[in-house]
A = this chain, B = another copy of it.
Amino acid sequence: MKDTLGLIFAYQNEESMQSLTKVRASSSVPYGGRYRIVDFVLSNMVNSGITKVGVITRNNFQSLMDHLGSGKEWDLSRKNGGLYILPPFSQSTGYRGKMEALKNAESFIRKSTEEYVVLATANAITNQTYDEALAYHKEKQADITIIYKKSQVKKYEDGATIGNIITLDADNRVVDVAINPEVGDAEVCRSTEQIIIRRSLLETLIADCASHYMYSFHKDVLQRHLKDLKIYGFATDKYIAKVDSIATYYDASMDLLSGETRAELFYQPNQVFTKIRDEAPTLYLGDSEVSNSMIADGCIIEGTVENSIIFRGVHIHKGAVVKNSIIMQDADIQANAELAYAILDKDVVIREGRKLYGWERTPYVVAKGQVI
């Protein structure tokens, strides 16, 4: 897929993840012990053989820039192509839709020479490549191909959206696009927000939307052009979790404790790449008791950990008990503290004997750097 350009929308859902997105863009929220959410889509592009990727940012992207650096970890530190962070051109009020965001990236897109573009939002936890979808796109001589997954939708009440539901004809051509509809318990075809399009067509659509004051990809492009563009759906059956709220984030994290999810995401020939941090391997001491948990490097575990995700550099002292929780980087859980259904952002300290219990659908979120 040398002839394909990747574009990642790395700025969405900035308001729905509580304190986690106060200090960073949603795409750089830590996930899975050592990753950032953007790592998955970015690795998918790289594993598809894409060597030029633009990351469209809006605001609050210092942490994202620090994480991505020169792109070296994704082998995107290149003379030809490589990784491009695309900040907003001027300090406007943000993007009202993807087409407006793409307008901001217009000169980057025009300067590219690739024939195809993969558009993807950063907030999908999945390990897949785009080779088959692109082959399908070519075979169907499609103008636009939407990668979708047929599934029942779990309902959340905290800002998570169902997203875009497509309806297909027998030939898999898209005949309807519904934006955040009420769907009940039915199985629906949900867009994974991974889209393949010819670069020249994308350029035309960007210019067209800009000159008509339109900005939404789904409303102003897909819905308007259902008839005159050949829009196809390509089905995927890979694991995919959309992270756009605390509840979806918590669920997508706990999914990692299932062997099947881990197998789909990690025990694959295609790796998920992320920024390297220098950490010693994890040290288990004393009466450590660990069960059904993921633990990153650099931890010291002296207490009990159950059904939890422990990031790099966490110290769980003697007698401390951590259950059903997500503990981000460098937390210090002091002796006999207890945590259940908690999400601790980076650098949190839980003092000796303190107890925090949240609940599954509403985990207790502790902001970065807090001392409790």
> Please, how many angstroms separate the alpha-carbon atoms of A15 and B65 in the complex?
27
Known: A60-B90, A89-B60, A91-B91. A70 touches B77 (CB 8 A): yes
A87 B62 Cβ-Cβ under 8 A: yes
A92 within 8 A of B: yes
Q: Determine the chain B residues whose CB is within 8 A of the CB of A58 once the complex forms.
A: 91
Q: How far is the CA of A61 from the CA of B77 in the complex (A)?
A: 19
What are the interface flags for A48-71 relative to B under an 8 Å C-beta threshold, 1 for contact and 0 otherwise? 000000000011111001100110
Q: Oligomeric state, in number of copies?
A: 2
Q: Which residue of B69, B84, B87, B89 contacts A70 across the interface (Cβ within 8 Å)?
A: B69
A93 on the B face (CB < 8 A)? yes
Q: Give the CA-CA distance A86 to B65 in the complex, in Å.
A: 9
B91 near A62 with CB under 8 A, answer no
Chain B residues, CB < 8 A from A89: 59-60, 62
**Assembly CA distance A84 to B62 (angstroms):** 9
By DSSP majority rule, is chain A's interface helix, strand, loop, or mixed? loop
Q: How large is the interface on A (under 10, 10 to 19, 20 to 34, 35 or more residues)?
A: 20 to 34
Residue among A62, A79, A108 with the most chain B CB within 10 A?
Answer: A62
A2 part of interface (Cβ distance < 8 Å): no
| Minimal beta-carbon separation of A120 from chain B (angstroms) | 21
Interface set, chain A 214-266, CB cutoff 8 A to B: none
- Indicate which residue in B65, B84, B90, B94 contacts A87 across the interface (CB closer than 8 Å): B65
A95 to chain B, nearest CB (A): 10
A85 within 8 A of B: yes
Bound: A84/B70 CA distance, A: 11
A72 beta carbon closer than 8 Å to chain B: yes
Residue A97 at the B interface, CB < 8 A?
Answer: no
Binding site for B on A (CB under 8 A): 58-62, 65-66, 69-70, 72, 77, 79, 84-94, 108, 278
User: Given A62-B86, A87-B87, 16 more contacts at CB 8 Å?
Assistant: A58-B91, A59-B88, A59-B90, A59-B91, A60-B90, A61-B87, A62-B87, A65-B87, A69-B70, A70-B70, A70-B77, A79-B278, A88-B91, A91-B91, A91-B92, A91-B93
A-B contacts, 10 listed (Cβ < 8 Å)? A59-B89, A60-B89, A61-B87, A62-B86, A62-B89, A65-B87, A70-B72, A70-B77, A79-B278, A87-B87
* Nearest 10 pairs of A and B residues by beta carbon: A70-B70, A91-B91, A59-B90, A59-B91, A87-B87, A91-B92, A91-B94, A60-B89, A91-B93, A62-B87
